[in-house]
Structures are given as C-alpha cells and as structure tokens.
Amino acid sequence: MSLQISAAARDALQQWLDAEQALKSAAPNTRAAYGADLRSFIAFMTQYRGAPQGLGALADLGITEMRAWMAHVRGNGASARTLSRKLSAVKTFYRWLAEREGFEPTAVLSTRTPKFQKKLPRPLSVDAARDMIETVEVTAIDSWVGARDAAVITLLWGCGLRISEALGLTGRALPLEETLRILGKGGKERLVPVLPVARQAVQSYARLCPFLVEPDGPLFRGVRGGALTPRSIQLVTAHARLQLGLPSSATPHAMRHSFATHLLAAGGDLRAIQDLLGHASLSTTQTYTAVDTDRLMEVYQASHPKAG
C-alpha cells in the first residue's frame, strides 16, 4: 500500500516521525505504530479518491472522507479502542502538517473519537500474587527454570516493572542493589526500589542458572540459553492461573497492576506510584484509584450490616 502514497506525502510522514522521535523521545514501537497507521490512512484516501494524495489533496480532506475511513477501519474488524488510537495518530500528524503547510485542518481535528468503555486493570489479591509466584516455581520442569520464572514475576509484582523491562535486564544488574535503574518507554529512566525478596529471588536464579550470565548478555535465559521471551512468561502464568483457579485477567501485566494497587491500599502516594511505574501521565496512574475504590466498595457491600 505504501506504493500508492505520493512522494511528497511519504516525505512529510517521515519528517513528522523524525520530529516525534527528536522532540518527544517516542519509543521505536510507538513510531512504528504511528507510521503504519498513517501509511494505511493515506493509502485508503488514495484508493477512496482514485488518485495519489499529495500534500494539497491531504489538506483538502472533508468530514465525508474521514467518516468513510473510520467505517473502513471498523469494517476490517478494528475495535473502537483501536480506531481511537489510529485517529489520534492521524490528528497528531495533521496538527504538525497544518502548521508546516499553512492550512486549516478542521475536518480532521473535529472528527469525534469513538466511545469505548475503558477497561480497568484487574489486580490480584496479595495472597493470589504470592500463590502465583509459588506455583510457577514448584511446577517448572527444572529447579533453575522455576527460580527464573519466580524471579521475573517477583520483579513485576515487587518492583512494578513492565515485562519488557524485567526481561531487558542484563547480567550487569547483578547483584541487585536496593535500587534499580530502569530504562522505560520513550527512553525515560527511573529509579525503582528493590525489595529484599526480589533481590533474593534474582540471586537464587543466578546461582542456579546453568548458563554463563555475562555483563552485556540477557540476565534471564530460555531453556536453550537464549534470551527469555515475554511469551514464555505469559504461558507459565497462564498455566499457573489455571491450577489456582484464577481468572484469565491474571496475566504478567496484572502483577504490575497489583504492585500499584497494593501500594495504594497501603497508603502510598499516587504521584510517587506514578514515578515508580514510569507513567508519563498521572491520569494513567489514577486508573488504580478506581480499582481501589471498587475493591473497597466490594468489602463494604459484603461486610456492612446495612449494606444492600
């Protein structure tokens, strides 16, 4: 589809992506998603209008074309959430393009974002989180594999790491100290406190690991010695939750959600939790206040003598 995009549009798109990288430190995956969304959008307009869309044609889009594109995206099975993300990318590009080319992007910017119900994270209880760690350790095919899986999941729950951040650690992190420097989304660094239980879990794994853990090599290894993949941890977690009778929402990422919710329930400051999680926006972290409120209301409804 990229062949249907005019050279001028392709160059403008690349310049915008470069600007996003330079000004906002957009992560490579984010830039790739933006690029794919915009190339697909411009290619659709090319087919819809029956001609290559140069900058002049792109500046002349109306609400009819925008509605046709949105119907096309939904018709291909995209959810309202996915369409919302794609529309956000289109609007961001158009703001930049309109300022550069001097046109009014009203039709694009006034296009309404589709409504969707925001899914709240589903954290595990403290006991369920502990059971998850114990289960992945004792049911593994080998003791070192069990120690490895337990160490990874302990880092997700005990430090609030993303799975990509935990698996991105190298041997240089050993031995873990009281704080861990994490390079998160967008290349942003943050310092994360490491609980003794997490340090012990990682040390136990390192002691049992049959492969040489080199400073610049991956800390967590697969059974054949290569870097451990997120998919491996997702499968291990899925197997453990089936054994424990936990819902399908009990994923590796749910352990990170649980970290935030348990800290909040213990009186943690929301902005401090934002820093620990590496969220760019406080509104992302504030999702956990809703989770915690729901949990408190469940307790209230179950235990208050006048409830119900």
Task: Decide if 162 is catalytic.
Answer: yes
Does 207 qualify as catalytic in the annotation? no
Residue whose C-alpha is closest to residue 125's, from 278, 298, 300, 303: 298
Q: What is the pLDDT of residues 249-307, one digit of tens each?
A: 778 877 777 766 655 555 544 455 455 454 445 455 455 555 454 554 454 455 444 44
Chain-centroid distance, C-alpha 143: 30
Q: Work out the percent of the chain whose per-residue pLDDT is above 90.
A: 8
**Closest residue by Cα to residue 160 from 248, 26, 288:** 288
118 in catalytic set: no
Q: Is 148 a catalytic residue?
A: no
Q: What is the pLDDT of residues 193-209, one digit of tens each?
A: 787 888 888 999 999 99
User: From the candidates 162, 190, 221, 262, which is the catalytic residue?
Assistant: 162
**Position 78 confidence tier, pLDDT thresholds 50, 70, 90:** confident
- Minimum mean pLDDT range among 104-108, 163-167, 217-221, 289-293: 289-293
Given the residues 95, 185, 239, 295, select the one marked as catalytic. 185
Report whether 31 contacts 20 (CB < 8 A). yes
Average pLDDT, the chain: 77
Catalytic entry in 199, 256, 257, 262: 256
d(CA 274, CA 138): 33
Identify the structural domains of the chain with CATH numbers, from first to last: 2-109 (1.10.150), 126-256 (1.10.443.10)
CA–CA distance, 300 with 308 (Å, rounded to integer): 10
Residue 304 annotated to the active site: no
CA distance 136 to 145: 9
Q: Looking at the DSSP assignment, which residues form a beta bridge with residue 182? A: 190
pTM above 0.85, yes or no: no
